Amino acid sequence: MSDTVLGIQYDGGVLIACDQSNARSILLYQTNIDKIKELTSHTMMGVSGPNCDLVNFTEYIEKNLNLYELENDGTKLSTKAQANFCRNTLATALRKGPYQVDVLLGGYDTVKKQAELYFMDHLAALQKVSYNAQGYAAYFCLSIMDRDYIKGLGYDDALEIMNKCIKALHKRFLLSQPNFIIKIVDKDGVRVVSVGADPADT
Partner 1 sequence: MYIANYFIAQTSTVRSVRLRFDLLASVRIDNDPIGRCFLPLIRHIDVSFDPSMARRYDASTTTFSPEGRLHQVEYAIEAINNAGTCVGILAKDGIVMASERRITSGLLAPAKTSEKTYFLAKHAACNVAGLTADANILIDQARLRAGRYQYQYQEPIPMEQLVEYVCNYKQYFTQRGGLRPFGVAFLFAGYDEHYGFQLYQSDPSGNYSGWKATVIGANNQAGKTILKSDYQKQPEGEEKMADDDDESGSIPDVQGALRLAVKVLNKTMDGSGTTAAEKMELFTMALDDNGQVVTKILTKTETQAVISAVESESASSGES
Does position 81 interact with partner 1 (CB under 8 A)? The reply is yes
Q: How far is the CB of 77 from partner 1 (least distance, A)?
A: 7
Q: Kindly give the residue spans of alpha helices, DSSP state H, lying in the chain.
A: 51-71, 79-94, 137-148, 155-172
Q: Is residue 82 within 8 Å of 69, Cβ to Cβ? A: no
Q: How far is the CB of 118 from partner 1 (least distance, A)?
A: 11
Please return the burial class of 6, using the count of CB atoms within 10 Å of its CB with bins 0-12, 13-18 and 19+. Answer: buried
CA distance 82 to 36: 16
Does position 127 interact with partner 1 (CB under 8 A)? The reply is no
Q: Is residue 76 within 8 Å of 43, Cβ to Cβ? A: no
Candidates 77, 145, 181, 190; binder of partner 1 (CB under 8 A) is: 77
Candidates 78, 110, 114, 130; binder of partner 1 (CB under 8 A) is: 78
CA distance 119 to 190: 18
Candidates 1, 63, 67, 72; binder of partner 1 (CB under 8 A) is: 72
Query: Which residues are within 8 A (CB) of 191 and not within 5 positions of it... i.e. 6 or more apart?
Result: 183, 184
For the window 90-119, what string marks contact with partner 1 as x by the rule CB under 8 A?
A: ---------------------x--------
Between 32 and 114, CB nearer to partner 1 = 114
Q: Give the binding site for partner 1 (CB under 8 A).
A: 72-73, 75, 77-78, 80-81, 84-85, 88, 111
